[in-house]
């Protein structure tokens, strides 16, 4: 007889998912699945629409990282036009990439994950949220809010809107960066660096304090993938895809993202709307690879900026050749936020950032366009084919979070085996499974679509499918 | 002085989370709001069961059968239900798929017109995604894709103060 434990909804992640844990006759966990239960069908609704509409439409895949979708989509559009995008537009796209890293990582660390870290995984569920954090340490909560706000404010300052701006287009962007924004942002930087120092100090203490969680929340060797530049630092806007294995050995030094289909492939499984990408040469599911903050730092050899480089060196010492414990995604996220602040400071020092020469115009010149960039959660690909009138005839999207799908499933199983005792179930055990998922900061609205929330229910199901017992979490 | 806090819920259905991001764009005002409001249920909190609440903001439209059951449950337990953003109000992006049969949409994404619909694991999709008011009574409509943080504060703030609401009670 086998039984099953269901966690639904998984909370404090960006999207809707449930988890099934399989329990064998001896009461031990012998399997786990992470189900994404959202679907919106962007591959279909893009069809028949002009490619120039894609950045605006594709932004709506996700309200957290719309900038990444706009950029990947605009870059695919650049390729369809066959133009070279003006430098000022590239600088602007880089600026907003960094602003989005800042706001999205702040959301993940402060708003969604810090309740577990600051209050503890076993804290009362009603307190485990941003307001519970504020009750305990209002300045810490405020620092997180202000870091996220700075990222959002930069996006708003450039585009006029914080979420889903009309901004990116094939060939460039729509307008110039206003000069006042530079002064406003530069004035905020000292406070922001100080807030990052404080957050990093805490995160390092937590990384020492939560040893069982580091061991049990997704600690296994796997491939890591991310875009890197010629200097070895992550290049979030225009890098080549590098893969390393769990020992840090380079598996592929610099693949062309425009040829992703030659080395990446996806499988669908009928128990999840989110697909399972894998690295083709190793097959399915051995070709599991991780993407996102930790993986980017694993494939990179430096960060390319002073403060972030110091933190990078320290973080990499937490692993051998590669840091394989997914718990360290949290720390990696903070290192990336520091890097984003420094790169934005650098970008604002470049006078061309404010140039109004931000758009190259052309007619349609190509039939196929592929755009890639690093979204906060990992590398992202948009791939369109169009007809002679520029109407989309096929759209393929390879979303960051989906590329972590195999790893998240593996992580859920590891965390469940480690922390969940099916015969003496406690809420904190299940929260640890959810917290393991939160390490990846999964954005499931990106991956497919959203579902309403159901209570968390533990069901003991007999082999005939009948529910033997039911336990509900408040 | 211990004032009774307004019980607030935020719900995410067939949307992109952008409306919720706009709510978080209240920034430090969130900390002030916390003095007057208790966030009882939300994707950013850990309550697993929908409680009795005063105000609920619902992002997104109804795209599958679980949404439909859930919105009725929420309606029965909430005093003021707000259709939060264009997807909740009109179906918007999520409803674009309505122009083609569901099987075709699923085929395009997964190569199988009934993908995920028969195993009892994934929620069964509605043939057509629909706005909230087709299933339940909606008290206020807060338009925008997403509505700006100022507009959210305007509506929620008026409700909190018991003032006449500067928002639309009707659709369109
Ligand atoms: S209304 Fe716009 S921002 Fe809100 S969920 Fe729908 S697409 Fe996203």
Max intra-chain CA distance, chain A: 70
Residues on chain B touching A108 (C-beta within 8 angstroms): none
Q: Is A459's pLDDT higher than 50?
A: no
B133 within a domain of the structure (yes/no):
yes
Q: What is the mean pLDDT of residues B104-113?
A: 84
Task: Using pLDDT thresholds of 50, 70 and 90, give the confidence band for residue A448.
Answer: very low
Residue B22, domain extent: 6-97+125-161
What DSSP string runs through A158-176?
A: HHS-SSS-S-EETTEESSP
> For residue A457, what pLDDT is reported?
35
A350 within a domain of the structure (yes/no):
no
> For residue A467, what pLDDT is reported?
46
B113 within a domain of the structure (yes/no):
no
- Express each pLDDT in B11-57 by its tens digit: 999 898 999 999 999 999 999 998 899 999 998 888 878 999 999 99
Q: Is B140's pLDDT higher than 80?
A: yes
Which of A12, A145, A164 has its CB closest to that of B46? A12
Query: Which one is predicted more confidently, A410 or B121?
Result: A410
Q: Is A230 exposed, middle or buried, given 0-12, 13-18 or 19+ CB atoms closer than 10 A?
A: exposed
Task: Report d(CA B16, CA B63) in Å as an integer.
Answer: 12
Q: How is residue A112 annotated by DSSP?
A: I
Backbone conformation region of residue A390, classed left if phi is above 0, alpha if psi is from -120 to 50, else beta: left
| Mean of pLDDT over chain A | 90
- What total number of domains does chain B contain? 1
Percent of chain A with pLDDT over 90: 72
- What total number of domains does chain A contain? 1
> For residue A160, what pLDDT is reported?
95
Residue A463, domain extent: 3-39+408-473
Task: Report d(CA A207, CA A198) in Å as an integer.
Answer: 14
Q: Using CA positions, which residue lies closest to atom 7 of ligand 1?
A: A60
> For residue A275, what pLDDT is reported?
86
B116 within a domain of the structure (yes/no):
no
Q: Which of residues 386-445 of A touch B (CB under 8 A)?
A: 431, 443, 445
CA-nearest residue to B19 within chain A is: A63
Q: Is A182's pLDDT higher than 90?
A: yes
Mutate to test the pocket of ligand 1, among B131, B143, B145 (most ligand atoms within 8 A of CB): B145
> For residue B167, what pLDDT is reported?
59
B57's tokens: 């903001």
A414 within a domain of the structure (yes/no):
yes
> For residue A461, what pLDDT is reported?
43
B18 lies within 8 A of chain A by CB: yes
A270 within a domain of the structure (yes/no):
no
Task: Report d(CA A242, CA A232) in Å as an integer.
Answer: 10
∠A363-A373-A269 over CA atoms, to 5°?
A: 105
> What strands, in cross-sheet order, belong to the sheet with B140-142?
B37-41, B6-12, B53-59, B78-84, B140-142
CB atoms within 10 A of CB A211: 10
Task: Report d(CA A285, CA A233) in Å as an integer.
Answer: 29
Q: List the end-to-end C-alpha distance of chain A, in Å, as a whole number.
A: 28
Residues on chain A touching B12 (C-beta within 8 angstroms): 16, 450, 453
CA of A339 to the centre of ligand 1 (A): 30
A13 within a domain of the structure (yes/no):
yes
Preferred mutation among A452, A461, A465, A467 to probe B, highest tally of B CBs within 10 A: A452
Q: Is the ipTM of this complex over 0.90?
A: yes
- Express each pLDDT in A314-361 by its tens digit: 999 999 899 999 999 999 999 999 999 999 999 999 999 999 999 999
Q: Is A466's pLDDT higher than 80?
A: no
CB contact under 8 A, B116 and A273: yes
Q: Using CA positions, which residue lies closest to atom 5 of ligand 1?
A: B15
B107 within a domain of the structure (yes/no):
no
Residue B135: which CATH number? 3.40.50.700
> For residue B121, what pLDDT is reported?
82
∠A446-A451-A452 over CA atoms, to 5°?
A: 140
CA of B84 to the centre of ligand 1 (A): 9
- Express each pLDDT in A349-365 by its tens digit: 999 999 999 999 999 99
Task: Using pLDDT thresholds of 50, 70 and 90, give the confidence band for residue B165.
Answer: confident
Atom of ligand 1 nearest to the CA of B14: 5
Cβ-Cβ contacts under 8 Å for B37 (sequence gap 6 or more): B5, B6, B7, B8, B156, B160
DSSP β-ladder status, B62-64 and B37-41: unpaired
Q: Is B68's pLDDT higher than 60?
A: yes
B44 within a domain of the structure (yes/no):
yes
Task: Using pLDDT thresholds of 50, 70 and 90, give the confidence band for residue A473.
Answer: very low
- Express each pLDDT in A416-442 by its tens digit: 999 998 888 888 888 898 888 889 988
Alpha-carbon distance A12 to nearest alpha carbon in chain B (angstroms): 5
Residues on chain B touching A35 (C-beta within 8 angstroms): 121-122
Percent of chain A with pLDDT over 70: 93
A199 within a domain of the structure (yes/no):
no
Mutate to test the pocket of ligand 1, among B10, B57, B60 (most ligand atoms within 8 A of CB): B60
A164 lies within 8 A of chain B by CB: yes
Half-sphere exposure of A196 (CA within 13 A, CB side): 28
∠B56-A139-A331 over CA atoms, to 5°?
A: 90
Residues on chain B touching A130 (C-beta within 8 angstroms): 30, 44
Q: Is A223's pLDDT higher than 90?
A: yes
């Amino acid at each position: 007889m086998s039984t099953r434990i269901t966690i639904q909804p998984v909370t404090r992640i960006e999207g809707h998912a449930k988890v099934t844990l399989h329990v064998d006759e001896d009461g031990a966990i012998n399997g786990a699945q992470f189900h994404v239960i959202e679907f919106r069908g962007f591959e279909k609704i893009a069809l028949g629409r002009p490619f120039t509409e894609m950045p605006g439409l594709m932004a709506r895949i996700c309200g957290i990282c719309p900038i990444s979708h706009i950029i990947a989509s605009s870059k695919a559009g650049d390729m369809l036009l066959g133009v070279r995008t003006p430098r000022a537009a590239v600088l602007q796209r880089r600026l907003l990439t960094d602003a989005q890293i800042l706001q999205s990582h702040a959301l993940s660390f402060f708003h969604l994950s810090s309740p577990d870290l600051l209050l503890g995984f076993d804290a009362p569920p009603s307190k485990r949220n941003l307001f519970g954090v504020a009750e305990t340490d209002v300045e810490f909560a405020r620092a997180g809010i202000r870091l996220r706000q700075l990222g959002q404010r930069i996006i708003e300052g450039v585009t006029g809107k914080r979420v889903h701006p009309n901004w990116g287009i094939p060939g460039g962007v729509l307008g110039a960066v206003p000069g006042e924004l530079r002064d406003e942002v530069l004035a905020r930087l000292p406070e922001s660096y100080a807030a990052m120092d404080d957050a990093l100090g805490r995160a390092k203490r937590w990384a020492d304090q939560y040893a069982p969680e580091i061991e049990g929340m997704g600690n296994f060797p796997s491939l890591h993938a991310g875009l890197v530049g010629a200097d070895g630092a992550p290049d979030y806007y225009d890098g080549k895809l590098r893969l390393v294995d769990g020992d840090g050995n380079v598996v592929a030094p610099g693949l062309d993202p425009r040829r992703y289909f030659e080395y990446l492939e996806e499988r669908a499984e009928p128990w999840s709307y989110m697909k399972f990408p894998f690295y083709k040469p190793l097959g399915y599911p051995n070709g599991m690879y991780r993407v996102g903050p930790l993986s980017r730092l694993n494939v990179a050899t430096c960060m390319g900026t002073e403060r972030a480089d110091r933190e990078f060196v320290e973080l990499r010492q937490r692993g051998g050749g590669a840091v394989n414990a997914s718990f360290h995604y949290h720390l990696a996220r903070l290192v990336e936020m520091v890097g984003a602040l420094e790169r934005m400071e650098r970008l604002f020092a470049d006078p061309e950032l404010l140039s109004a020469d931000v758009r190259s115009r052309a007619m349609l010149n190509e039939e196929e366009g592929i755009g890639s960039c690093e979204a906060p959660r990992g590398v992202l690909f948009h791939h369109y084919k169009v007809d002679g009138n520029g109407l989309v005839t096929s759209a393929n999207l390879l979303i960051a979070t989906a590329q972590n799908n195999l790893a998240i499933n593996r992580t859920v199983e590891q965390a469940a085996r480690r922390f969940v005792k099916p015969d003496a179930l406690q809420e904190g055990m299940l929260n640890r499974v959810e917290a393991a998922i939160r390490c990846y900061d999964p954005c499931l609205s990106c991956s497919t679509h959203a579902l309403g929330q159901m209570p968390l229910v533990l069901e003991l199901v007999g082999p005939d499918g009948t529910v033997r017992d039911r336990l509900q979490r408040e | 002085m211990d004032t009774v806090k307004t019980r607030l819920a935020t719900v995410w259905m067939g949307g992109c989370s952008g409306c919720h991001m706009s709510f978080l764009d209240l920034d430090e005002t969130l900390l002030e709001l916390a003095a007057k409001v208790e966030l009882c249920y939300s994707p950013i909190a850990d309550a697993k069961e929908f409680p009795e609440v005063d105000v609920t903001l619902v992002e997104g439209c109804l795209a599958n059968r679980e949404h439909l059951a859930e919105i009725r449950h929420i309606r029965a337990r909430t005093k003021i239900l707000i259709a939060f953003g264009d997807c909740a109000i009109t179906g918007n992006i999520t409803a674009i798929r309505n122009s083609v049969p569901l099987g075709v949409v699923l085929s395009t994404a997964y190569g199988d017109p009934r993908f995920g619909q028969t195993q009892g694991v994934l929620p069964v999709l509605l043939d057509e995604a629909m706005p909230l008011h087709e299933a339940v009574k909606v008290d206020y409509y807060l338009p925008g894709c997403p509505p700006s943080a100022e507009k959210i504060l305007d509506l929620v703030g008026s409700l909190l103060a018991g003032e006449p609401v500067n928002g639309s009670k009707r659709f369109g």
